Amino acid sequence: MTTTNWTPAQPIVSIRDLHKSFGDLEVLKGISLDVMKGEVICVIGPSGSGKSTLIRCINALNPINSGSILVEGQEVHDPALDKLALRKKVGMVFQQYNLFPHKTALQNVMMAPLKVLKRPRDEVEKHARELMNRVNLQGKEDSYPGELSGGQQQRVAIARSLAMNPDVMLFDEVTAALDPETVKEVLLAIKDLAQSGMTCILVTHEMGFAREVADHIYFTDRGVIVEHGPPATFFTEAKDPRTQEFLSQIL
Amino acid sequence: MSRQIPGMSVIVQGKTDLPVLKPYRLSMSAGPADLGFSRWLQGVNPLTFVAIAGLLLIWPVVVFAQGGYTTAQAFEALWRWLPFLVTSGFALNILISFFTMLLGTVAGILLGLGQIAPLKPLSRFSWFVTQLFRNSPWLVLLFIVMLAFPFEFQIGGTIFLIPDWIKAVFGLSLPIMANISEIVRGGIQSVPTGQWEAAESLAFTRRQTLWQIILPQCFKRMIPPWMNWYAILTMATPLVSLLGVEELVTLSRQAMEAEDNHPELLMPFFGFALVIFFLYCYPIAKWTLRLERKFAVKE
Ligand SMILES: Nc1ncnc2c1ncn2[C@@H]1O[C@H](COP(=O)(O)OP(=O)(O)OP(=O)(O)O)[C@@H](O)[C@H]1O
Ligand SMILES: [Mg+2]
């Protein structure tokens, strides 16, 4: 891995003029944003505005066309980048959980540290059990994903990501597939994480939650950031008509 | 697309390439299974089959009753030949089917993995080879291999003769390889892409993802179609009699010749061949479908 002279005083994620197209469809048209260590930012916006694409670019699940994404000072889209090293630093939780169905909850959490980081098993297991407790799933260690509710599966997915000790967590509409009753338990787990100082980038439709946990909110529409600001002012003083319209529909 | 398997009158449906981007649970049914043959075979009521075989056996009595040779004599001849036909003839069919399946499976897995390789030339090539051998008549492949392969080869100063049945194994392995390749590709692609992405975001390498996350999920689903192909293959082994390999059908013909080619021999001898293949493949078909149901319920 190349060394950089990144210090925690600089943004941990820094995006400049990011452009991304799928074929002829330009999905991101010049996105720039900075995230400081320990910060929680929420990205909101209408469906199809490129929110998922944006956060998938941050851990190089999607290649980009132009611009720059630095994570801890490292260019994510440098062809020489060690993608594995990047992904050890950036965790991601998906809307569809994507747990490994042939493994129990605990095995799901243990798998990456064991196989990827090659940590000793007893240490990994101890950490995994702590994480299961942290997302409030004690007693579900030996359940298979198919035996868990959506909310429980999503919390396992969060624990699975945390097991890699990432510096940044990405959440892509992680409550969108859940029943209203189970949304709360997942949001609670994320909130706990956010308050513990984890750097989080969340795509969400939960405005109440965004207002509560976010340090900064970005509103995207058709591939650009239309407006952004801290929640205290963002929700009440939105200036752009597109933001106002979106907020009026969703609030 | 449907194709005719040479040597039998079963239409085998070609597999479609279902794109799988559905939520996880839903996609589980889109497995690689295409069990048309097993389904047909296990659907045959054994009693019906015995009845038909019985009718066939009576038939020569009606047609050739005026010859001096009786059906009883024909059966008596079959009875004499039976141990030989089973231990030398049918045993070779089974041997051929085993080795073909072994070779075809190993090659098919490699080819199937080649089809999903990120390296474009490799995946294109694997796809092409798969399609080529899936869509060629088995008999033509057999002839090519039998005639193109040398009869012997030399290692050091020693000359090894290659028996015909080994060449038959190579020939039959080609279509089996191609079909196993499709099973592997279909199985892997039936796993939702979200699984790949989750593994990728956890810093698994592609190889780790494939072996530790993807294949364990689809391995079971590949077994029933694999067994289905084994049954089809076994039923197709008499094809090699056309090339002179001394398996059951060839030996039956030779035995009948030794018994002076009485027409009354035809039905007992070939009827017997039919029955023994059926007895061997029927339980496999049953078992295939049982596994298919079991895996479907579990997942
Ligand atoms: N792999 C892909 N290939 C082609 N087009 C894609 C691909 N992924 C996304 N798109 C397109 O890019 C656009 C933005 O998609 P994206 O998933 O980023 O939107 P989103 O803001 O996350 O929407 P949602 O709120 O519905 O999740 C959409 O028009 C989508 O159709
Ligand atoms: Mg999205």
At A14-52, the pLDDT tens digits run 999 999 999 999 999 999 999 999 999 999 999 999 999
**Secondary structure (DSSP) of A128-164:** HHHHHHHTT-TT-TT--GGGS-HHHHHHHHHHHHHTT
- Distance from C-alpha of A77 to C-alpha of B198, rounded to nearest angstrom: 19
- Distance from C-alpha of A187 to C-alpha of B7, rounded to nearest angstrom: 62
pLDDT at site B147: 83
Tokens, residue A31: 């996105």
CATH, domain B33-295, list 3.40.50.720, 3.40.50.1000, 1.10.3720.10, 1.10.10.60: 1.10.3720.10
DSSP helix/strand/coil, A80: coil
Chain A interface includes B26 (CB < 8 A): no
A105-108, Cβ contacts within 8 angstroms, sequence gap of 24 or more: A105/A132, A105/A137, A105/A140, A105/A141, A105/A142, A105/A143, A105/A144, A105/A145, A105/A148, A105/A152, A105/A156, A106/A132, A106/A141, A106/A142, A108/A145, A108/A156, A108/A157, A108/A160
Longest Cα pair distance anywhere in chain A, in angstroms?
55
Question: Domain map of chain B by residue range?
Answer: 33-295
Mutate to test the interface with B, among A103, A115, A167 (most CBs of B within 10 A): A115
Binning pLDDT at 50, 70 and 90, where does residue A134 land? very high
- Burial class for A237, CB neighbours closer than 10 Å (0-12, 13-18, 19+): exposed
CATH H superfamily, domain A13-250: P-loop containing nucleotide triphosphate hydrolases (3.40.50.300)
Chain B interface includes A84 (CB < 8 A): yes
CB A138 within 8 A of CB A105: no
Minimal-distance CA residue to ligand 1 atom 7: A22
Distance (Å) from CA B289 to ligand 2 centroid: 40
Residues B177-193, mean pLDDT to the nearest whole number: 95
Query: Does pLDDT of B63 surpass 90?
Result: no
pLDDT at site A21: 95
Ligand 1, CB cutoff 6 Å, lining residues:
A 22, 25, 27, 47-53, 173
A91-95, B59-63, B273-277: which range is least confident on average?
B59-63
Across the interface, whether the CB atoms of B203 and A99 are under 8 A apart is answered no
Q: Which of B24, B200, B217 sits opposite A61 (nearest CB)?
A: B200
pLDDT at site A68: 94
Mutate to test the interface with A, among B20, B190, B202 (most CBs of A within 10 A): B202
Give the sheet arrangement for strand A168-172, strand by strand.
Answer: A90-93, A168-172, A199-203, A40-44, A216-221, A224-229
- Give me the phi and psi of B211, to 5 degrees please: -80, -30
Chain B interface includes A102 (CB < 8 A): yes
Chain B interface includes A81 (CB < 8 A): no
Across the interface, whether the CB atoms of B198 and A59 are under 8 A apart is answered no
Rounded to a whole number of angstroms, the distance between the first and last alpha carbons of chain A is 45
Tell me the whole-structure pTM to 2 decimals: 0.83
Contacts of B133 (CB under 8 A, 6+ apart): B141, B174, B175, B177, B178
Residues B221-229, mean pLDDT to the nearest whole number: 93
pLDDT at site B3: 41
Residues in chain A closer than 8 A to B205 (CB atoms): 84
Instruction: Find residues 169-228 of chain A whose CB sits inside 8 Å of chain B.
Output: 177
DSSP run (H or E) holding A73:
none
Q: What is the pLDDT of chain B when averaged over all its residues?
A: 83
Chain B interface includes A63 (CB < 8 A): no
pLDDT at site B1: 39
Pocket test for ligand 1, best of A18, A21, A24, A27 (most atoms within 8 A of CB): A27
Chain A interface includes B17 (CB < 8 A): no
Distance (Å) from CA A203 to ligand 1 centroid: 13
Binning pLDDT at 50, 70 and 90, where does residue B4 land? very low
Residues B45-60, mean pLDDT to the nearest whole number: 68
Distance (Å) from CA A51 to ligand 2 centroid: 6
Tokens, residue B85: 């036909």
Instruction: Find residues 199-238 of chain B whose CB sits inside 8 Å of chain A.
Output: 199-205, 208, 212-213, 216-217
Binning pLDDT at 50, 70 and 90, where does residue B22 land? very low
What dihedral do alpha carbons A139, A144, A147, A148 form, nearest 10°? 60
Binning pLDDT at 50, 70 and 90, where does residue B47 land? confident
Strand partners, A20: A28
Across the interface, whether the CB atoms of A84 and B203 are under 8 A apart is answered yes
Tokens, residue B9: 């009158």
Q: Which of B25, B198, B203 sits opposite A94 (nearest CB)?
A: B198
ipTM of this complex: 0.93
Q: Which residue of A has its CA nearest to B213?
A: A100
B26-40, B96-110, B139-153: which range is least confident on average?
B26-40
Chain B interface includes A140 (CB < 8 A): no
Question: Domain map of chain A by residue range?
Answer: 13-250
Minimal-distance CA residue to ligand 1 atom 6: A22
Backbone conformation region of residue A199, classed left if phi is above 0, alpha if psi is from -120 to 50, else beta: beta
CB atoms < 10 A from the CB of A14, how many?
A: 18
Distance (Å) from CA B61 to ligand 2 centroid: 76
Across the interface, whether the CB atoms of B204 and A116 are under 8 A apart is answered yes
Across the interface, whether the CB atoms of B198 and A164 are under 8 A apart is answered no
Binning pLDDT at 50, 70 and 90, where does residue B181 land? very high
Strand partners, A202: A42, A171
Which tens digits make up the pLDDT trace of A157-206? Answer: 999 999 999 999 999 999 988 888 889 999 999 999 999 999 999 999 88
Across the interface, whether the CB atoms of B24 and A101 are under 8 A apart is answered yes
- Give me the phi and psi of B74, to 5 degrees please: -60, -45
CA-based nearest distance B30→chain A, Å:
16
